[in-house]
Amino acid sequence: MSEAQETQGNGTYDVIVLGAGPVGQNVADRARAARLSVAVVERELVGGECSYWACVPSKALLRPVIAVADANRVEGARQAVTRQLDTDRVFARRNRYVTDWDDSGQARWVKSIGADLFRGHGRIDGPRRVTVTRDDGSQRILSARHAVAIATGSRPVLPDIPGIDEARPWTNRHGTDSSTVPVRLAIIGGGGVGVEMATLWQGLGSQTTLLSRRRLLPRMEPFAGELIERSLTEAGADVRIGVQVTALRRPERTSPVTLTLDDGSELEADEVMLATGRTPATDDIGLDTVGLTPGSWLDVDTTCLVKGVDGNWLYALGDVNHRALLTHQGKYQARTAGDAIGARAAGRPMDDAAWGDHATTADQHAVPQVFFTDPEAAAVGLTAEQASDAGHRIKTVDLDFNTAQGANLYADDYQGHARLVVDLDREILLGVTFVGPGISELLHSATIAVVGEVPLKRLRHAIACFPTVSEIWLFLLAAYQRD
């Protein structure tokens, strides 16, 4: 990062954005599109966790693992896969996608939209004021005419396990920036990070143990975790469900880590990775100066205004509001809030009724998510359990993918499963889950159906091409009608 990319001095702006991850960048862009002046404050790398230690590097590393798995599912192609993955080249590919952890390209982008970038730690200092403290201790004071948008993201939760400091655990940071493959890796936590990291490191050659106190991917339909568990086990990973880690030990810096489990057994690994959830990066951003609790998730309204703060000036977007810890959902909030900030600044009325321009309605009804495991798991909307708990009268339709010829042509012996959750009163879809190889690109069709509340009677006329994996739609809808 060069000094030239950075703005000096104090200043007054229409909008101040705290955090230049994908979410901060998007709200800045939208506010600039509304012709507002914007300051962006970033203490680490412009691009955030997503670009350098989460979505981008993890997917860059996973892709070669999945590509080989895909080839192995096709007779004739399988015979061409004759060697192990070239891990040096896999890591080099990852390094290219994270631009060697150099953010100058993204910093130039901030400049290109006409926003000013301030490097340093941002803290709110009372209404509409932000101080920026640089590494050398010097400070800038910024004021906002219209809005401060908090987009400071989240950090890994460090659970209270005795010996955790001594064990020097990996988090998503080493899990995505390491260029060495541990011989034995133990991963604690069976959510999205746990299952993707287990797929990745087992695929790169680690003997991986995944330890989960609950079923895998507990927020998805149960069959998602079950299929991934089966496939990880077939790939050679040791998946243990219903276990807790009660202590960690690494007496010497170079010695292996010993994990004690709640059944009294011990497990030795060369590295241990925490995948035990996220905590908001709001502990040191001056929330107390505006009557909020440091370290808390920020409760927001549909335009992403923080509740409990007067004056319609404080917004919270992305991971910090805990609505959906996903880049695409945070960027949606950022686009919506950026437009809302522009409208409020211009004195225009809010369009914040459900599905309006200034409403983040999809956060409640249609959050799409893909886990890039093998098989992939993708879902949008409600699971059957969530829909029932919400009081909907539902019917579920379940099918294995191998009913569709497109799936069988895609992979020999295709293993995958799909579920529709149908609202019986309105005959629309409340949720859809797909698990199987190559299904991530299928999800957007389901998202459109759920967001558009497309009646099933009409959806029948949306024809999937023969012979594609999408043909599963035809069979799911036929099964619904038949019943």
- The number of angstroms, rounded, from the C-alpha of 189 to the middle of its chain's C-alpha atoms is 15
Site for ligand FAD in 8-47 (CB under 6 A): 18-24, 41-45
The upper half-sphere exposure of residue 131, i.e. CA atoms within 13 Å in the direction of its Cβ, equals 13
The one among 47, 189, 286, 438 contacting ligand NAD by CB under 6 A: 189
Residue type (1 letter), 463: I
Binding mask 386-425 for ligand NAD (x = CB under 6 A): ----------------------------------------
Select from ligand FAD, ligand NAD, none the partner in contact with residue 330, using the beta carbon and a kind-dependent cut-off of 5 to 8 Å: ligand FAD
Residue 148 and residue 127 in contact, taking contact as beta carbons nearer than 8 Å: no
| Total binding residues toward ligand FAD, as defined by CB under 6 A | 37
Q: Does 369 bind ligand NAD (CB under 6 A)?
A: yes
- 309 phi/psi in degrees, rounded to 5: -120, 125
Q: Does 316 bind ligand FAD (CB under 6 A)?
A: no
Q: Does 50 bind ligand FAD (CB under 6 A)?
A: yes
> Tokens 């029948």 map to which residue?
460
Residue type (1 letter), 340: A
Q: What's the CA gap between 120 and 405, in Å, rounded?
A: 55
Select from ligand FAD, ligand NAD, none the partner in contact with residue 190, using the beta carbon and a kind-dependent cut-off of 5 to 8 Å: ligand NAD
Q: Does 318 bind ligand FAD (CB under 6 A)?
A: yes
Site for ligand NAD in 370-389 (CB under 6 A): 370-372
Query: From the CB of 206, what's the least distance to ligand NAD, in Å?
Result: 18
Angle at 379 between CA 375 and CA 383, to 5 degrees: 120
Select from ligand FAD, ligand NAD, none the partner in contact with residue 436, using the beta carbon and a kind-dependent cut-off of 5 to 8 Å: none
Q: What's the CA gap between 472 and 359, in Å, rounded?
A: 32
Q: Does 192 bind ligand NAD (CB under 6 A)?
A: yes
Query: From the CB of 372, what's the least distance to ligand NAD, in Å?
Result: 6
- The number of angstroms, rounded, from the C-alpha of 311 to the middle of its chain's C-alpha atoms is 31
The one among 107, 245, 326, 430 contacting ligand FAD by CB under 6 A: 326
Beta-bridge partners for 154: 280
Q: What's the CA gap between 449 and 368, in Å, rounded?
A: 12
DSSP readout, 317-354?
-GGGG-S---HHHHHHHHHHHHHHHHHHHTTPPP--ST
Q: Does 281 bind ligand FAD (CB under 6 A)?
A: yes
Tokens in use for 453? 């509340």
Strand 314-316, strand 139-150: pairing: parallel
Q: Does 121 bind ligand FAD (CB under 6 A)?
A: yes
> Tokens 């009294």 map to which residue?
264
Select from ligand NAD, ligand FAD, none the partner in contact with residue 376, using the beta carbon and a kind-dependent cut-off of 5 to 8 Å: none
Q: Does 103 bind ligand FAD (CB under 6 A)?
A: no
Instruction: Give residues with Cβ within 8 angstroms of 289, minimum separation 6.
Output: 124, 125, 126
Tell me which residue of 311, 306, 305, 326 sits closest to 369, measured CA to CA: 326
Residue 390 and residue 384 in contact, taking contact as beta carbons nearer than 8 Å: no
Query: From the CB of 414, what's the least distance to ligand FAD, in Å?
Result: 24
Binding mask 154-193 for ligand FAD (x = CB under 6 A): x-----------------x---x----------------x
| Interface stretch with ligand NAD, choices 68-76, 124-132, 173-181, 190-198 (CB under 6 A) | 190-198
Select from ligand NAD, ligand FAD, none the partner in contact with residue 328, using the beta carbon and a kind-dependent cut-off of 5 to 8 Å: ligand FAD
Q: Does 328 bind ligand FAD (CB under 6 A)?
A: yes
Select from ligand NAD, ligand FAD, none the partner in contact with residue 122, using the beta carbon and a kind-dependent cut-off of 5 to 8 Å: ligand FAD
Q: Does 280 bind ligand NAD (CB under 6 A)?
A: no
Run of H or E residues at 283:
none
Reading across the β-sheet that carries 245-249, which strands appear in turn?
Answer: 245-249, 257-261, 266-269
Tokens in use for 254? 């170079």
Q: Which is nearer to ligand FAD, 406 or 437 (CB)?
A: 437
Alpha helices in 9-131 (DSSP H): 22-33, 48-53, 55-72, 87-97, 104-112
Q: Which is nearer to ligand NAD, 131 or 154 (CB)?
A: 154
Would you tell me which residues interact with ligand NAD (CB under 6 A)? 159, 188-194, 196, 213-214, 218, 244-245, 275-278, 325-326, 369-372
Contacting residues toward ligand FAD, per CB under 6 A = 18-24, 41-45, 48-50, 54-55, 58-59, 121-122, 151-154, 172, 176, 193, 281, 285, 318-319, 325-328, 330
